[in-house]
């Protein structure tokens, strides 16, 4: 199959009122969206109407106070995503649900059970976005004085994922016979204890829920540091990343795909999906006006606080209209800090200009234009080995998603780049990913 015949993948990253830091203030935004289940039902159904592969949500385990902007941001409380997606799966049929959960602060047994539950409830539409948690504010919520160092978080993540996969394999696919005549509910020969003992975890198993319909919920990874890319190469099936140029995206694509072979994997087993912040207008002037309307709503304290949170450094003592100073390496989100420093240096941005630049996409790719212009740029990355698809980040909700579904999706479909109907009923089927064989069945087959 040629590259032009392949279908790109699309995720919809849909938090509350939208992606822009001032989205909740937009006159057409749902300002209480983060805790409005009817709003979430609406946007989930809109995303499914647009044939998106998945609804993606980030998550954290600490209130994002955004020091210096207390009370001014829309980060004051959100639904826990697995809980939310369980509800949304009941009002949708095909779209997948990718929920973020931390390997640094969560427990592998509980995480394995809740994602298996979501996969069963949704009929095989669950995905787990693996994060190691970049926010040092989380430590205090879990009895720790300090946030674990970056390298240790990733070492723990490798072991965590192995434990979770092992637990998902506790039951062979046909273990539950439920034979009323013989009185066997399950075949005791088809259940397996994990008995894992490692550096971070000691987990006996088995998991107290049947193997997920997909075998494993789809494994997604969102880190782009060296450690993050290696974790993705070994374990991820989708990687959510942030690049600004075609050349940088091509380099990242080749790098992470090139890591797969040493783990016995092929390039098609990992989908690279950069984040894209699209502002859509019937004309280019309309799109630019929509963007400027949001930019005008940025409160300076909110913009600075957003930048400080992403870059991992207090900038309050520096003039907003002065250059970004040289910064020490953060222990939080290293890849995002490196990206923002690179953007500031390339564009000679002041601190104010940098926070304005990231207020919408937070370092992801921003495209402002007509449906044709946006489709042109997405197609360019797709056909030139820079992306297998994209995680779409609407500026405000529900309008920004409506614009993309009603205007851009038809243009992508007209070009033969995107589906007109779902290929299957599970997230794996729609992403073109195979269902993993139970590791215990592999062992038995080899004997």
- Residue list, annotated binding site for FMN: 59, 100, 150, 154, 224-225
Q: What ranges in 50-92 are assigned the alpha helix state H?
A: 81-89
Question: What is 295-325 written as a DSSP string?
Answer: HTT--HHHHHHHHHHHHTS--TTS-TTSBPP
Residues 6+ apart with CB under 8 A from 242: 224, 274, 275, 335, 336, 339, 361, 362, 363, 364, 365
Residues 6+ apart with CB under 8 A from 400: 18, 19, 278, 279, 280, 394
Annotated binding site: 59, 100, 150, 154, 224-225
Distances in whole angstroms, Cα of residue 404 to Cα of each of 228, 276, 297: 30, 11, 22
Pick left, alpha or beta for residue 94 (phi over 0 → left; psi -120 to 50 → alpha; otherwise beta): alpha
Is-contact 119 75, C-beta < 8 A? no
- Measured CA to CA, the distance from residue 141 to residue 149 in angstroms comes to 17
Is-contact 138 105, C-beta < 8 A? yes
In 3-state terms, what secondary structure has residue 331?
Answer: coil
The sign of the torsion formed by the CA atoms of 412, 416, 421, 426 equals: negative
* Rounded-to-5 percentages of helix, strand, coil across the chain: 45, 15, 45
Of 392, 291, 423, 278, nearest to 47 by C-alpha is 392
- 239 beta partners: 221, 272
Residues 6+ apart with CB under 8 A from 407: 280, 282, 371
């Amino acid at each position: 199959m040629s590259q032009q015949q392949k279908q790109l993948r699309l995720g919809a990253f849909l938090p509350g009122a939208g992606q822009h830091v001032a989205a909740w203030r937009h006159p057409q935004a749902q300002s209480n969206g983060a805790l409005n289940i009817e709003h979430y039902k609406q946007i989930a159904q809109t995303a499914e109407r647009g044939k998106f592969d998945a609804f993606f949500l980030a998550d954290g385990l600490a209130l994002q106070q955004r020091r210096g902007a207390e009370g001014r941001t829309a980060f004051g409380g959100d639904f826990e995503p697995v809980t939310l997606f369980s509800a949304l799966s009941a009002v949708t049929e095909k779209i997948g649900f990718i929920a973020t959960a931390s390997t640094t602060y969560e427990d592998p047994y509980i995480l394995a059970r809740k994602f298996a539950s979501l996969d069963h409830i949704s009929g095989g539409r669950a995905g787990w976005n693996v994060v190691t948690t970049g926010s040092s504010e989380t430590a205090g919520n879990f009895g720790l004085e300090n946030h674990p160092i970056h390298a240790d978080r990733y070492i723990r993540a490798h072991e965590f994922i192995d434990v979770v996969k092992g637990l998902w394999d506790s039951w062979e696919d046909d273990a539950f016979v439920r034979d009323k005549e013989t009185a066997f509910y399950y075949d005791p020969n088809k259940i397996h204890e994990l008995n894992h003992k490692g550096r971070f975890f000691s987990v006996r198993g088995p998991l107290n829920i049947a193997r997920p319909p997909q075998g494993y919920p789809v494994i997604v990874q969102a880190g782009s540091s060296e450690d993050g890319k290696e974790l993705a190469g070994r374990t991820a099936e989708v990687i959510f990343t942030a690049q600004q140029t075609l050349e940088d995206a091509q380099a990242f694509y080749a790098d992470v795909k090139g890591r797969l072979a040493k783990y016995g994997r092929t390039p098609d087993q990992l989908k690279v999906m950069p984040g894209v912040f699209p502002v859509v207008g019937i004309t280019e002037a309309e799109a630019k006006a929509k963007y400027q309307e949001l930019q005008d709503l940025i409160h300076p304290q909110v913009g600075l606080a957003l930048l400080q949170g992403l870059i991992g450094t207090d900038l309050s003592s520096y003039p907003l209209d002065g250059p970004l100073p040289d910064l020490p390496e953060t222990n939080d989100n290293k890849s995002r800090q490196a990206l923002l420093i690179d953007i500031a240096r390339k564009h000679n941005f002041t601190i104010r200009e940098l926070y304005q630049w990231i207020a919408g996409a937070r370092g992801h790719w921003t495209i402002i234009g007509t449906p044709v212009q946006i489709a042109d740029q997405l197609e360019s990355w797709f056909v030139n080995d820079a992306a297998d698809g994209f995680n779409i980040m609407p500026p405000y909700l529900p309008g920004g998603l409506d614009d993309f579904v009603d205007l851009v999706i038809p243009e992508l479909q007209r070009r033969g780049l995107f589906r007109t109907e779902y290929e299957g009923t599970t997230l794996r089927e729609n992403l073109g990913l195979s269902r993993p064989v139970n590791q215990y069945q592999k062992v038995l087959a080899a004997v």
